A and B are shown apart, each in its own frame.
Chain A
């Protein structure tokens, strides 16, 4: 028990103990930047005592010219904690892959020290740098300094949210397309849709360089761009033999774990029936020196994932099984245009693309965006006979 020190954070002081870095320590050591931190801790301590949050509902604030990027927040106990009466969050668009120089980080810190609480999240779940806590009158000055430093706000509201990507070709031998570039190019191409919410609801894009999906694109993006290859795995037999010699049980740990059992090992040679491989990545993950994705690279495009609200959680499902890397940006732009046109026209208020597809049916959605059905889009054909035949199919 921490009776000494500040009695008003007796409960939170407990969370300064233990080996994992403490967020309470982070807040405490920032109080020299802004007195907001003391009141934030005070209010949080009250929440811990009462087991409930103390933020008022919603809050609509922003910067001129944009319809999003700032999450307004007001304390519901402002008399008690006046310094967090306003405590708005600014979302700052992160560079692709969350790479920084120390100078860029210091610039961001300086801006936030001058105009906010000095507290951040590195990063928000969608990818943005989160500037945590400022007052309404500081939004414009902070935004002006950010712009001068080459940074812009990210997305919030019913807009294209800030796209994000895995580290991709910057530091991964498995990247099947340039996730960093596609993420940056899409962000720049759709600045208007990002800053001025035009849609029925939010729309997220995530770029993963391979099926390991290190940005969880399949689960956390309405449009999930996941790297794939089309030709054979590249295989180095000598390196396979080295793994075997080093004690890896290739039969058990590689072949028996293959979901399609397309590999065999005779104690000397690993044989892969590439036409049966579903590119799950397991064998490559286990033997990165011996196996690599093929050379004919590109991406699969999946659509529709979302969290449960309202009609249940969805994972993205296959829309285009393979787009060669050279055509990827153009194809994405065309697809995005068609998806947004249809969704904007037919989506209900607060209806995600995935829910719209559930409501109208995937086949109608494919018609609307001009794609032909393909067996790669389903895990199985339907098992019920309630088929809507199109008028011209019956005489």
Chain B
């Protein structure tokens, strides 16, 4: 019995039109403006005068089928069965009846899914698999996110920041997701070179690919005990873990030395200033499950200092560019170290090449 004859392939996703509520089909591309009615509640007004109400709720992203069914039931109860998810993994209910907004909010909150995440709030944290599913993670993702969002919860359900503030977590330097362009990013890092399994390496790894995977050229071919393998020039290794990605015989997980770095000041939108990469704020904090208190404290501190100093509409990175990095380190109390000074390619671009110095 070959399964081949009956196979359905290459059909792609279902066409989105099947899933659009009638009010959206009627006003597709004909929206006039929108208003923010309350944290987590938007109203879009079409040229036709029709209104669409959106209620946005936070989600842990990792969802049980039971929770998805709960969302489906709420969509049936309040909005004709139509809902969507956002690019930050919140869930949105699409309503035409404003009287349903409050009951829906109450049902969501009673089930433990808070309404918020709009405008100048801290919306959901874009994050990755961590210890739940990935082999190369230097930390967990879901646990960090839960710990941070518990501490930052008032910022999700209210809109009290100068501008929006995007948080992201990536559990290793592959930076799946948006860590390299977020206002505050939490990134799992290693601090020890890989341990080479010379017995396994020739059997399971392609050596040229392995050598090419190293950003700093720290991996060289070597003969060990008469067998072809590699050596790592440890002074050149900065523990990125890319060699492990391509070669299972180069593990570098190390519970005592793996941990967290914190990055700040990135953005993707073009509003006011051009998109920016995040920059290093804190080179290392320990992995301290289940609550990662050092990481949570550090993130809350940065949020609070930013919130109390930035001007209206100023994103974290824009605020830092205005006040300067020395002032950022001074105001946050974060120590500036040798590790903050770039020493990768074109590093000179980040050195201060003027006498514009504040005292």
The number of inter-chain residue pairs (CB within 8 angstroms) is: 368
- Does B63 reach chain A (CB closer than 8 Å)? yes
Chain A residues 348-384 with CB under 8 Å of chain B are: 348-350
A173 touches B31 (CB 8 A): yes
A100 touches B277 (CB 8 A): no
B32 touches A26 (CB 8 A): no
B89 touches A184 (CB 8 A): no
Task: Give complex CA distance A20, B273 in Å.
Answer: 32
Chain A residues 50-95 with CB under 8 Å of chain B are: 50-58, 64-66, 71, 73, 87, 89, 93-95
When distances are taken between beta carbons in the complex, the residues of chain A under 8 Å from B100 are: none
- Contact A102 B76, CB 8 Å, known A171-B54, A350-B213: yes
- Does A394 reach chain B (CB closer than 8 Å)? no
- Contact A313 B75, CB 8 Å, known A48-B140, A191-B12: no
A138 to chain B, nearest CB (A): 14
B14 touches A187 (CB 8 A): no
A220 touches B178 (CB 8 A): yes
A169 touches B13 (CB 8 A): no
Task: Give complex CA distance A257, B272 in Å.
Answer: 6
A184 touches B72 (CB 8 A): no
Which stretch, B2-10, B300-308, B331-339, touches the partner chain A?
A: B2-10
Task: Give complex CA distance A356, B313 in Å.
Answer: 37
- Does A203 reach chain B (CB closer than 8 Å)? no
A21 touches B114 (CB 8 A): yes
- Contact A191 B84, CB 8 Å, known A132-B133, A172-B31: no
A53 to chain B, nearest CB (A): 5
A218 touches B275 (CB 8 A): yes
When distances are taken between beta carbons in the complex, the residues of chain B under 8 Å from A94 are: 13
B153 touches A140 (CB 8 A): no
**CB within 8 A of B126: which of A23, A93, A125, A171?**
A125
A144, A164, A220 — most chain B CB neighbours (10 Å)? A220
Task: Give complex CA distance A96, B28 in Å.
Answer: 14
A23 touches B69 (CB 8 A): no
Q: How many residues of A contact B (CB 8 A)?
A: 125
A122 touches B11 (CB 8 A): no
B14 touches A54 (CB 8 A): no
- Contact A195 B344, CB 8 Å, known A26-B60, A33-B65, A350-B209: no
B199 to chain A, nearest CB (A): 15
B7 touches A64 (CB 8 A): yes
- Does A22 reach chain B (CB closer than 8 Å)? yes
Task: Give complex CA distance A195, B254 in Å.
Answer: 36
- Contact A122 B63, CB 8 Å, known A53-B134, A216-B268: yes
Task: Give complex CA distance A23, B142 in Å.
Answer: 7
- B84-126 vs A, Cβ < 8 Å mask (1 yes, 0 no): 1111010100100000000000000000111000000000001
- Contact A288 B34, CB 8 Å, known A20-B153, A123-B89: yes
- Does B181 reach chain A (CB closer than 8 Å)? yes
**CB within 8 A of A308: which of B31, B175, B272?**
B175
**CB within 8 A of B270: which of A164, A180, A212?**
A212
A15, A56, A71 — most chain B CB neighbours (10 Å)? A15
CB nearest to B52 among chain A residues: A171
B284 to chain A, nearest CB (A): 14
Q: How many residues of B contact A (CB 8 A)?
A: 119
When distances are taken between beta carbons in the complex, the residues of chain A under 8 Å from B251 are: 57
B62 touches A23 (CB 8 A): yes
B7 touches A55 (CB 8 A): no
- Contact A150 B14, CB 8 Å, known A101-B19, A307-B174: yes
Task: Give complex CA distance A379, B229 in Å.
Answer: 45
When distances are taken between beta carbons in the complex, the residues of chain A under 8 Å from B65 are: 30, 33, 109, 112-113, 118-120
CB nearest to A100 among chain B residues: B19
- Contact A313 B175, CB 8 Å, known A95-B15, A170-B28: yes
**CB within 8 A of B31: which of A14, A171, A259?**
A171
Other than the known A96-B13, A101-B81, A253-B312, what 10 A-B pairs have Cβ atoms closer than 8 Å?
Answer: A18-B146, A51-B256, A53-B137, A118-B66, A169-B28, A211-B271, A253-B313, A281-B271, A307-B180, A308-B240
User: Which 6 A-B pairs rank lowest in CB-CB distance, beginning with the nearest?
Assistant: A147-B8, A18-B150, A102-B72, A57-B248, A169-B29, A20-B149
**B residues in contact (CB < 8 Å) with A:** 3-4, 6-16, 18-20, 24, 28-29, 31-35, 44, 52, 54, 58-69, 71-73, 75-76, 81-87, 89, 91, 94, 112-114, 126, 128, 130-137, 140, 142-143, 145-147, 149-150, 153, 156, 173-181, 209, 212-215, 240, 242, 244-246, 248, 251, 253-256, 258, 268-273, 275, 277, 287, 289-291, 312-313, 344-345
Q: Can you list 26 A-B pairs, Cβ within 8 angstroms, ordered by A?
A: A15-B290, A17-B150, A21-B112, A23-B61, A33-B65, A48-B143, A51-B255, A64-B7, A95-B15, A99-B82, A103-B72, A119-B64, A122-B85, A123-B61, A125-B176, A169-B28, A170-B20, A171-B31, A173-B33, A191-B11, A211-B271, A307-B176, A309-B174, A312-B344, A315-B181, A350-B213
